[in-house]
Amino acid sequence: MAANVKFLAKVMAGNKRKTLSIKEKLKVIAESKTISKPELCSKYGCSSSTLNKILRNAGEIANKSSTRKLSAKRMRQGKEAQVEQALMIWFNQLRSSGAVISSNLMLEKAKQLAVKLKKDFTPTQGWLWRLQKRNGIQLRNIHGEERSTDKENAEIFLSTTLPHIIANYDQVNIFNADESALFFKALPQKTLTHKGQTVKGFKTSKDRLTLLFICNATGEFKEVIVIGKSKSPRCFKNKVLPLKYYSNKKAWMTQEIWGKVLNKLDTQMREQNRKIVLLVDNAACHKISDTLTNINLQFLPPNTTAITQPLDQGIIHCFKAYYRQSIIRKQVAAIERGQTVAEFEKSLNIFQVIHMIKHSFWMVKPESIQNCFKKAKFITTPTDQQFEDTSAEVEKIVKSLAGANTQSSFETYIVCDDDIVCYGNWTDEEIVSSIVDTEADPLQIDNDGSEDEEETEEVLKTASLAEVLHCIHSLRAHFLPKNKYIAELESMEGDILHNEMSFQTKITNWFFKRNF
């Protein structure tokens, strides 16, 4: 009898079911492309049915891995799933802004959210402990002001989840999007001067825009969307904008604006019969309920974007270097015209700035963009194919301005707006609305219906035809000895005259009207 019991125990031990953690499942998914199923079953000690289930649910596992503890073996839900979901949205958005959160604060917020969700539920310490365990939340000491990225999660994502996400996409169809603030009037705070000479200072302008950058891994697709505070700046009157412009009172990205951008991009890809994967950070404003036909929207793990996001590997930094270069050059030209720093700053308006933004992003080389996607491990390139790093591109910009001795101060100038918030936190009502899936838009913050703000910028005066032709004549006189840009100036002059005369009934009327 005892022998039979021992034998039975031995058999049961040999057939003991093994449950894999999320981390192990991600490794199984990644290795399934190179290792056979029997070998995987043997390596991870699981049955063929378990393996098939993991591979069948690969997409769901990849999506949930960014919000679940990787060591967890089961994706359990708590007693009140909606309260837990709402609390995690609130927790993630506060941690992304660096807030200090205690257990008592989480319990209090859970009570408030339960009331707003109309749930008869009183959260306890035990419920909160289980929620923290499921979501990998731990109590940590605060070390200084800088928040470090989660390097372990970043490495796991790049080595296991990302290859699965982009496996069926060519490099040209792998996209990344990210926001960044821009102090569009900011000027350098340091200058070279004679020893002992006092330098009169000025207050740096904090007028800001939020820019949304979208590009693909080859650099052939580059788009930037502008978000400002004023709905209809006076300088836009009778003008054709070179870039798409949205507005709200804080110049922030919102879910409403993000939805419009995505739907427009989705339509564009559908017209091109093209399916793309778009990777973005997991900010609350990026999570929409709209159905996209040609965009596979994927989210990067929290606190890892400094490592995992290609745009953060130097693309945005390079754009800002080109933009600051443009500002400095325009300032020099303004001084030559006799303008003071204050007068130059006031003369800049958003319409001019949008043109500068477009040109600056166009200047970022496709090779540099490819290099940043490669650095983020989104793509691989042949070993004999070397791309210029964006730091080298930025260094060239600095040297073109004033020499290498000003590189440190210029770098500080480039990043003066890097840490500015680009989107706001959801209110409790917006969180609840997103959970219960009401018809109301959960993030309709300061939408485009807001009243226009009074502008302080000087509206650029439209030049007369005579002034335009005189400028072209001056440019021709300047470039003719160098034999440069002559064809372009001739084409520009011809186009202006053709458009102007097309509105006149007779050519003689055109000449007599202008007293030529």
Question: What pLDDT score does 24 carry?
Answer: 83
Same domain, residue pair 264 and 364:
yes
Same domain, residue pair 264 and 321:
yes
Nearest to 191 by CA among 409, 408, 339: 409
Range 471-494 average pLDDT: 82
Let me know the angle formed at the C-alpha of 394 by 419 and 186, rounded to the nearest 5 degrees: 45
For residue 296, give the H/E element and its range. strand 295-299
Range 281-302 average pLDDT: 86
Same domain, residue pair 98 and 231:
no
Query: Is-contact 248 443, C-beta < 8 A?
Result: no
Tell me the C-alpha to C-alpha distance, in Å, between residue 27 and each of 31, 76, 442.
6, 21, 36
Asked whether residue 410 is assigned to any structural domain, the reply reads yes
What is the three-class DSSP state of 247?
strand
**pLDDT of residue 11 exceeding 50:** no
Any idea what DSSP says for residue 46?
A: -
* Selection from 5-19, 59-73, 180-194 with the highest mean pLDDT: 180-194
Any idea what DSSP says for residue 173?
A: G
CATH of the domain at 119: 1.10.10
What is the three-class DSSP state of 98?
coil
DSSP 135-162: HT-------SSPPPP-HHHHHHIIIIIH
Question: What pLDDT score does 356 carry?
Answer: 93
The tens digit of pLDDT for each residue in 372-429 reads 999 998 987 665 555 556 667 777 776 666 543 455 677 788 888 887 878 777 677 7
The tens digit of pLDDT for each residue in 163-221 reads 989 989 999 999 999 999 999 988 876 544 444 444 455 566 788 999 999 999 999 99
For residue 224, give the H/E element and its range. strand 222-228
Question: What pLDDT score does 79 carry?
Answer: 62
Query: Is-contact 301 308, C-beta < 8 A?
Result: yes
Question: What pLDDT score does 262 carry?
Answer: 95
- Number of structural domains (the chain) is 3
d(CA 241, CA 300): 32
Asked whether residue 449 is assigned to any structural domain, the reply reads no
Question: What pLDDT score does 31 carry?
Answer: 82
Q: What is the tally of helices (H) and strands (E) in the chain?
A: 22, 6
Range 330-345 average pLDDT: 82
**pLDDT of residue 13 exceeding 70:** no
Let me know the angle formed at the C-alpha of 182 by 176 and 188, rounded to the nearest 5 degrees: 130
Mean pLDDT, the chain, rounded, equals: 77
Any idea what DSSP says for residue 253?
A: B
**pLDDT of residue 450 exceeding 70:** no
Q: If pLDDT is split at 50, 70 and 90, which confidence band does 28 have? A: confident
Any idea what DSSP says for residue 73?
A: S
Same domain, residue pair 397 and 501:
no
Asked whether residue 76 is assigned to any structural domain, the reply reads no
Any idea what DSSP says for residue 14?
A: H
**pLDDT of residue 459 exceeding 70:** no
Any idea what DSSP says for residue 180?
A: E
d(CA 275, CA 169): 8
Q: Encoding tokens for residue 207? A: 């007028």
Question: What pLDDT score does 266 carry?
Answer: 94
Phi, psi of 136 (to 5 degrees): 65, 35
Question: What pLDDT score does 357 carry?
Answer: 95
Question: What pLDDT score does 277 carry?
Answer: 96
Query: Is-contact 32 61, C-beta < 8 A?
Result: no
Range 444-456 average pLDDT: 40
Range 287-296 average pLDDT: 85
**pLDDT of residue 272 exceeding 80:** yes
* Selection from 16-20, 91-95, 111-115, 169-173 with the highest mean pLDDT: 169-173
Asked whether residue 486 is assigned to any structural domain, the reply reads yes
Domain encompassing residue 485: 465-513
Asked whether residue 346 is assigned to any structural domain, the reply reads yes
Asked whether residue 196 is assigned to any structural domain, the reply reads no
Question: What pLDDT score does 203 carry?
Answer: 61
* Cβ neighbours for 436, distance < 8 A, ≥ 6 positions apart: 82, 117
What is the three-class DSSP state of 74?
coil
Q: Which residue has the higher pLDDT, 61 or 29?
A: 29
Same domain, residue pair 221 and 282:
yes
Q: Which of 47-51, 58-62, 237-241, 500-504 has the lowest mean pLDDT?
A: 500-504
Asked whether residue 210 is assigned to any structural domain, the reply reads yes
Same domain, residue pair 184 and 312:
yes
Any idea what DSSP says for residue 337?
A: T
The whole-model pTM stands at 0.65
Question: What pLDDT score does 374 carry?
Answer: 92
Q: Residue 227: beta bridge partners?
A: 210, 246
Question: What pLDDT score does 461 carry?
Answer: 62
Range 309-333 average pLDDT: 89
Asked whether residue 166 is assigned to any structural domain, the reply reads no
First-residue to last-residue Cα distance in the chain: 121
Query: Is-contact 344 331, C-beta < 8 A?
Result: yes
Same domain, residue pair 257 and 373:
yes
Q: Which residue has the higher pLDDT, 33 or 420?
A: 420
Nearest to 422 by CA among 265, 312, 276, 296: 312
Same domain, residue pair 217 and 326:
yes
Same domain, residue pair 131 and 272:
no
Tell me the C-alpha to C-alpha distance, in Å, between residue 217 and each of 1, 30, 220, 222.
68, 21, 8, 10
Find the Cα–Cα–Cα–Cα dihedral 407, 413, 414, 419, rounded to 10°.
Answer: 130
Helices 315-336 and 366-375 cross at an angle (nearest 10°) of 140
Structural domain ending residue among the three candidates 379, 414, 449? 414
Q: Position of tokens 């591109």?
A: 393
Question: What pLDDT score does 372 carry?
Answer: 92
d(CA 511, CA 274): 52
Q: Which residue has the higher pLDDT, 26 or 314?
A: 314
Q: If pLDDT is split at 50, 70 and 90, which confidence band does 70 have? A: low
d(CA 390, CA 322): 11
Q: Encoding tokens for residue 348? A: 């800049």
Burial (CB < 10 A; 0-12, 13-18, 19+), residue 39, is exposed
CA atoms lying within 13 Å on the CB side of residue 22 = 24
**pLDDT of residue 10 exceeding 70:** no
